[in-house]
Structures are given as C-alpha cells and as structure tokens.
C-alpha cells in the first residue's frame, strides 16, 4: 500500500492521475512487484508524449512495458542519474595506529609511554601563545616565594579539602602540589574536569615547600580553526554500534538504511543525500560479540561469533559498490580490548571481508574523505570521561568528546575501565586537529561543532538491552547521521518510524546545541 501511495504521489508531481481501473490493478500487486512496476512507469512516462493525464489500467500497462524500458536500459538510465557514481573517491588513510602496535608491557615501556605523552602534549602547549613561555617544574620550584610561575606537568592525583582542590603534579623529573580555590573560578572549573594522567599548564604563584597557588589551569585544547571542506557536494554516512547477533539488534531498521542507500525508499531530499553518498563509516561494535558483559548470553540471538559476522555481512554487502566503506573495531568486536586496537581479524571477520571491499583499520584511526579529515574512535573511554567529569552524563556524549579534544587525548586516565597498552609511543594523543571527530559506544546520537571540529556520536542500531536498563542508559537507536562534506552540515534521519513508510527527518526533534 505504501508503494502504491508513493507511486500515486510521484505521478501527481509529474502531472498525472490514475483512474479507478488503474488503482484497482495496482492494489493487486505485492511490494516487490509494485516497486519494479512503479520504477518502470516513472522512468518511461516522459517518453510517451501522447499519454493522457488521467491514466487507465491499460495505459499504465502500456507505459510499463514500453520498449525503452527493457531491463538493461533501465539500469543504464538509473546509473546515469546517481551523482556519487560519477564522482571519484578521494579516500586517504592518514593514520592507522594498528600498524604501529608493538609488543609493549614492561615497566620500561610505561616510562617510554608517559614520556612520549608528556612531550607531545607539551608541544601542543608550546604552539599556544598563552603557554609558549611555560617552563619545567624545576624552574618553577627554583623561584622565590610569591613569584609568578607558569609550568607544564602531568596530573597524578586530585584531592578536595574544604572546597579547595589539591592537585599532585609530576613532570617526569620533579613533583609538586597545586592549590586551586573556587575563587579562581575558571581555573577551578577546569581543574575539576581534568582527568588523571592529563598534561596541563599551570599559571600561578610560588608558595612554600613544593606548593603553588593556581591562577589559571589550561588544557592543551584545539585551536579555533577553519575545517577542510570538500569542493564537491558529497556526503558521508556515519554508523556505529550495529550489534548484529543481539536480540535487540534492529534488523528491520538497518535494512531500511540499505533500502534507502539503494534508492528504494526516501523522499526526494533524502534520496538526494543517498545519491550523493560517497563514503560510509562503521565506527565499531559491528557485532554484539560474546562474553562482553555479565549475563550477555541471555540477550544473544546468535551465540557464535563467526555467524554474527555472517549475519552482519548480509547488511554490509548491500552498501552500493561506489561507496567507500571504512570499518574500525569496538569493544564488542573480537580484538584485544587495550587501545589502540588492531582491525577486526580475518578469522572471525571473513564473511564481512568477503561481502564487499572494505577499508578495515584499527581503533583509533584517521582518514580523509575528499580532503575532510576524520578522527575515528569507537569511544570506550567515554565511559571514564563521563564517570569522572562533573556535569557530563550519558545523554551528552558530545560533551565528553569535547573534553577529549580539549585534553588532546582519547583516554587520559591510565588504569580505568578503558585499558591502554603501554606502547613506546602514545597513539592516543590527538596530534592532528580533526575536521570531524566521530565516536559511538554510548548509543546516543548527538553532535556539536567545537572550534571548527564537527563532533558526532553516531548512536546505535540496537534497542535498549537489559544491561543498559540496569545501568540506566537510555539509547537513541535507529537514527542515522549523514554528514555533508562540503558544508559539514549534519542531517539526522530516523529509520525507526514504523508507520510513515519513509525515513523521518529529525532536525526539529533534536534540541539545538
């Protein structure tokens, strides 16, 4: 019936109506038949100049079997009308940290790891005019009492006493304590949200012993910048957290995404996006995995990992072949949990890799689509950021991602829920300022522009699980994020709407940021 309604609407737009006989005939068709028929009629009606404007059953039949509409010619005609097919892909892998994963694991590696973090983030401070002249702790400690100081150090511990914050610092050579009082409001608010093991810059005065009193506390932050933009009007579709294999996996909704990408559903505006989609990202948690959280087995529809990927391949295989597709793993995929994670391995992911061509990278990864630079990170460490930073909760993953950009680090705190491999280099420092920063993991779609970087949390394709219910997480599944690479404009499309038959634009339903 939906197909029929749409055909009648589209014919009306083209200036045609149907009579009772045509209407009754169309009603007898099932969905696939009606779809093919409608496509044929709409493609050929313009070629039949003598057609009257009120179409009977007979006329519809004549049009749909017009000689110009033999299948190969229909396909050629459709192919010519898809702009993304004619646009050449410009996909660059800027960094795949999985290529740099070493053996790691010894005490020596820990000291290398933190030294590298310290040096990289110190460099970020030196690029800022307000912290270019910051010194080492040794220089600050050598100053006389009440002298002004500015230095760079790493946060080892934070304690609150009588509403004052005492921050223990270390710069790999010396240690010190900084007192941050609520009277210095900006410094106090920053100090409150700083994660442990984060490199910061402190401006203040020298007090007694190893103590300093802070006037300002700075995070490395990203500069306000003009993002790189694509010259052409092309789109990227950002997905994450499919969780294929879970009982709560939204198969129908995800299937509709691929119907839409294959131009089978959607209103003209939505179709225009699908026709100009050149890139697609799946930012981790392709499958639900096994043994990821307590009692997960009760929530699995497929209990075999290989079969979960077999099922996932049925969806991934439907991505049109002209769309470049990038995949990274999440914490539900069968790779090591410590960051950085290697790509999804061939032994489990085989069905996925056989379904179509994929650019399979580690987590995190950096890519450029048409010159627009993406930082892709599944986002497990967002749990840590949300649990430790004040005024950030699971409904605001974009705020937690903003803090990661301010920290210029994807998982500052070592030894919390997200494990970090002590590599010789810290691959989790955000050295290059991204134009787009995508994560998933939280299962809540949110986006905001921060200093020129488009932050996007791409939600999920899994309804609320019992586990999420227990921890109080309310997801927003079935909402697709589409990003225009020419403008960095985000469009949210809701595929969960069951009755309207077409995907629903959500721009009006999501609060402004």
Query: Which parts of this chain interact with Fe ion (CB under 5 A)?
Result: 241, 285
In the complex, minimum distance from the CB of residue 205 to Fe ion, in angstroms, rounded to a whole number = 47
In the complex, minimum distance from the CB of residue 57 to Fe ion, in angstroms, rounded to a whole number = 50
For residues 511 and 513, give the distance between their C-alpha atoms in angstroms, rounded to a whole number: 6
* CB within 8 Å of 28: residues ≥ 6 apart: none
Nearer residue to Fe ion within complex by CB, 96 or 241? 241
Q: How many angstroms separate the most distant Cα atoms in the chain?
A: 98
Contact 49, 69 (CB under 8 A): no
CA angle 364, 357, 436 (to 5 degrees): 35
Q: How far is CA 400 from CA 71, 284, 431, in A?
A: 51, 18, 18
In the complex, minimum distance from the CB of residue 96 to Fe ion, in angstroms, rounded to a whole number = 21
How many CA atoms lie within 13 Å of 83's alpha carbon, on the beta-carbon side? 11
Nearer residue to Fe ion within complex by CB, 241 or 324? 241
Write out the H or E segment, with its range, that includes residue 106.
Answer: none
Quickly count: other Cβ atoms within 10 Å of residue 279's Cβ: 26
Nearer residue to Fe ion within complex by CB, 358 or 444? 444
For residues 77 and 43, give the distance between their C-alpha atoms in angstroms, rounded to a whole number: 8
In the complex, minimum distance from the CB of residue 329 to Fe ion, in angstroms, rounded to a whole number = 11
Nearer residue to Fe ion within complex by CB, 152 or 455? 455
Nearer residue to Fe ion within complex by CB, 63 or 239? 239
Specify the 3-state DSSP secondary structure of 92.
strand
DSSP code string of 248-285: TB-HHHHHHHHHHHTTSS--HHHHHHHHTEEEEEEES-
DSSP conformational letter for 187: H
Nearer residue to Fe ion within complex by CB, 254 or 488? 254
Handedness of CA 342, 154, 111, 128 (dihedral sign): positive
- Of residues 251, 358, 347, 336, the one with CA closest to residue 302: 251
Contact 377, 430 (CB under 8 A): no
In the complex, minimum distance from the CB of residue 152 to Fe ion, in angstroms, rounded to a whole number = 36
In the complex, minimum distance from the CB of residue 450 to Fe ion, in angstroms, rounded to a whole number = 23
Nearer residue to Fe ion within complex by CB, 330 or 434? 330
In the complex, minimum distance from the CB of residue 441 to Fe ion, in angstroms, rounded to a whole number = 5
Pairing of strands 235-239, 277-283: parallel
For residues 293 and 275, give the distance between their C-alpha atoms in angstroms, rounded to a whole number: 39
Nearer residue to Fe ion within complex by CB, 22 or 287? 287
Nearer residue to Fe ion within complex by CB, 270 or 481? 481
Nearer residue to Fe ion within complex by CB, 204 or 459? 459
Q: How far is CA 43 from CA 53, 68, 84, 172, 266, in A?
A: 16, 9, 20, 70, 17
- Of residues 341, 238, 292, the one with CA closest to residue 468: 292
In the complex, minimum distance from the CB of residue 287 to Fe ion, in angstroms, rounded to a whole number = 10
Pair of tokens at residue 460: 């999920």
In the complex, minimum distance from the CB of residue 409 to Fe ion, in angstroms, rounded to a whole number = 22
Nearer residue to Fe ion within complex by CB, 320 or 379? 379
In the complex, minimum distance from the CB of residue 139 to Fe ion, in angstroms, rounded to a whole number = 46
DSSP code string of 46-59: GG-TT--SEE-HHH
- Of residues 259, 213, 223, 114, the one with CA closest to residue 173: 114
Q: Pinpoint the alpha helices (H) of 127-223.
A: 137-141, 185-193
In the complex, minimum distance from the CB of residue 341 to Fe ion, in angstroms, rounded to a whole number = 14
Q: Tell me what percent of the chain is helix, strand and coil, each rounded to the nearest 5.
A: 35, 25, 45
In the complex, minimum distance from the CB of residue 285 to Fe ion, in angstroms, rounded to a whole number = 4
The total number of residues written for the chain in this structure: 513
Nearer residue to Fe ion within complex by CB, 16 or 461? 461
DSSP conformational letter for 471: H
In the complex, minimum distance from the CB of residue 437 to Fe ion, in angstroms, rounded to a whole number = 17
Nearer residue to Fe ion within complex by CB, 310 or 457? 457
């Amino acid at each position: 019936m939906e197909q029929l309604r749409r055909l009648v609407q589209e014919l009306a737009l083209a200036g045609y109506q149907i009579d009772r006989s045509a209407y009754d005939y169309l009603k007898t068709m099932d969905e696939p038949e009606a779809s093919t028929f409608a496509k044929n009629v709409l493609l050929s009606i313009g070629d039949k100049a003598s057609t009257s404007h009120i179409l009977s059953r007979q006329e519809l039949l004549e049009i749909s079997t017009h000689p110009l509409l033999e299948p190969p010619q229909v396909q050629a005609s459709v192919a010519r009308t898809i702009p993304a097919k004619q646009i050449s892909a410009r996909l660059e892998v800027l960094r795949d940290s999985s290529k740099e994963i070493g053996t790691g694991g010894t005490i020596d590696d820990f000291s290398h790891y933190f030294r590298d973090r310290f040096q990289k983030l110190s460099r970020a401070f030196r690029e800022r005019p307000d912290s270019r002249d910051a010194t080492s702790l040794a220089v600050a400690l050598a100053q006389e009492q009440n002298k002004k100081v500015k230095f760079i150090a790493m946060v080892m511990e934070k304690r609150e006493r009588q509403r004052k914050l005492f921050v223990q610092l270390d710069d790999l050579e010396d240690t010190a304590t900084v007192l941050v009082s609520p009277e210095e409001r900006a410094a106090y608010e920053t100090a409150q949200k700083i994660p442990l093991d984060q490199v910061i810059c402190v401006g203040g005065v020298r007090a007694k012993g190893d103590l300093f009193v802070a006037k300002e506390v700075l995070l490395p932050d990203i500069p306000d910048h003009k993002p790189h933009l694509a010259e052409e009007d092309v789109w990227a579709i950002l997905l994450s957290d499919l969780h294929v294999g879970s009982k709560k996996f939204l198969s129908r909704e995800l299937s509709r995404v691929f119907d839409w990408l294959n131009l089978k559903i959607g209103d003209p505006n939505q179709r225009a996006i699908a026709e100009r989609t050149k890139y697609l990202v799946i930012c981790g948690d392709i499958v639900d995995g096994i043994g990821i959280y307590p009692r997960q087995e009760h929530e699995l529809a497929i209990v075999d990992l290989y079969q979960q990927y077999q099922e996932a391949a049925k969806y991934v295989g439907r991505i049109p072949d002209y769309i470049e597709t990038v995949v990274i793993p999440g914490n539900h995929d069968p790779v090591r949990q410590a960051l950085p994670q290697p790509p999804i391995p061939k032994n489990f992911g085989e069905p996925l890799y056989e379904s179509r061509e994929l650019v399979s990278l580690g987590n995190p990864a950096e890519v450029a689509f048409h010159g627009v630079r993406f930082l892709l990170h599944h986002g497990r460490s967002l749990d840590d950021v949300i649990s430790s930073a004040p005024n950030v909760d699971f409904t605001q993953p974009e705020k937690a991602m903003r803090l990661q950009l301010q920290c210029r680090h994807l998982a500052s705190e070592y030894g919390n829920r997200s494990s970090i491999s002590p590599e010789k280099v810290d691959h989790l420092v955000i050295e290059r300022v991204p134009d787009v920063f995508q994560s998933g993991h939280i299962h809540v779609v949110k986006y905001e522009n921060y200093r020129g970087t488009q932050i996007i949390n791409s939600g999920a394709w899994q309804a609320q699980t019992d586990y999420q219910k227990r921890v109080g997480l309310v997801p927003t599944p079935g909402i697709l994020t589409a990003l225009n690479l020419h403008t960095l404009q985000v469009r949210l499309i809701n595929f969960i709407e069951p009755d309207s038959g077409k995907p629903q634009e959500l721009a009006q339903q999501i609060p402004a940021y």
